[in-house]
Amino acid sequence: MAPRTWKCVPCQKTFQTTQPTTRDPHCPKCGNPLTLLLSPTPRLPIPQPRTPRPKAPASAAASPGRNEPADSLSVVSSSAWTPDPEPAPSPDTVFQAPARYAPGLMDPVEPPPTLLRSPWFWSSCFAVAVTLTFFIVFLAYREGRTADAAASKPATAQATAPATLASAMLPTPDAPPASRAIDLLALIDLARDTRGGNWHMDNGALVSDASSRALLAIRYKPPREYDFLIQFTLLSGDNNVIQVFSVDRKLATFVLGGWKRTSSGFQHLNGKPANANPSTVHSPALHNGDIHTCVIRVRNHSIQAVLDDQPVTSYDTDGSDLSQLDWKINGQPLGIGSQDTPTAFHQIKLIPVDLK
């Protein structure tokens, strides 16, 4: 038996013994238990190359003594190679799952229930899903039809009732609704649109002076058919008020109370002024201080002037024979003015005519 080394820690003395002990030994000096010192692990021998053995003579090779088991073991024991200290497990060893596997991972997997493997089960599930889908679509379609029917009934009633009322109140081409009027007075900029005379604002009214050509251009392109309305008061003087309008891009002028309030009419018709053409009239009378309303009604084939709801004059034309030679507004489609008569313009409006 290899000697073992014991050490007494308090005494710092070591003892060796080769005798087996049934209990831990004690220090013979102090009586304290001894501590077994483990011998260092012996180093494995370094493999050495085998020395070639001399070949035996043929007579020795044929000798049956060379094949004895004892001789074979002696050859193996003399080799410098050592066997594997950890032999392979025997066939009877039970395999243990490594610790990295979770419990139950190596357990056999149980097959799914018979019901889930049945094709009839999945066919039934598909049929139920299709039936529910069609039912939901049917409910949505039915609710939509009901909502449309409920919404269409009030709409029909409302459309029917106002249709009768609107048909009774539909304006004729000679009188478009005033609610659609466009306020042209708000579009005028005196610094930009003045073409003659001196103008100023007074209590919301646009006032001209006594110039011989007090003229303002209005920057608004009218439709083909419209009403051009002005509400005005003659403050002093004894001459006319004018309205410049356009018919299919042709400019013309309506002179009201021209030539010292002796003539009114459209100009120029085939180059003729308002006091010498088919539209010339010698009325109506105008008085200073009174509020008047004059409307020029432009239609596809005619033009008409109405003063205080009374027709003054009219002329059938498509605009081809109209021209504008006196009151120049530099290419703008509309304008107003006065001659030798200070005038306050309270309203200037354009009312489109919709014949649809």
Assess contact for 252 and 323: CB atoms under 8 A.
yes
Q: ω into residue 268 within 30 of 0, thus cis?
A: yes
**With contact defined as beta carbons under 8 Å apart, do 24 and 34 qualify?**
yes
Give pLDDT, residue 124.
Answer: 85
Please give the pLDDT value at position 137.
87
**pLDDT of 180:** 82
Under a CB-based contact definition with an 8 Å cutoff, are residues 37 and 6 in contact?
A: yes
Type of residue at 69: P
pLDDT of residue 294: 96
- Tokens linked to 347: 């309203």
SS3 of 167, please?
helix
Report the amino acid identity of residue 247. V
Distance of CA 24 to the CA centre of its chain: 90
Give Cβ neighbours of residue 174 (< 8 Å, ≥ 6 apart): 297, 304
With CA atoms as reference, report the closest residue to 353 among 187, 172, 215, 185.
172
How confident is the model at residue 269, as a pLDDT?
Answer: 95
Report pLDDT for 165. 30
Residue-wise pLDDT tens for the chain (356 aa)?
667 777 887 887 787 777 776 677 878 878 788 787 766 556 666 776 776 666 656 554 445 545 555 555 555 555 455 555 555 555 555 555 455 444 544 455 566 666 666 777 888 888 899 898 988 988 888 777 666 655 555 443 333 333 333 333 333 445 556 668 999 999 999 999 999 999 999 999 999 999 999 999 999 999 999 999 999 999 999 999 999 999 988 999 999 999 999 999 999 999 999 999 999 999 778 999 999 999 999 999 999 999 999 999 999 999 999 998 889 898 899 999 999 999 999 999 999 997 43
Q: Which residues pair with residue 315 across a beta bridge?
A: 303
Give the separation between CA 10 and CA 182, rounded to whole angstroms.
122
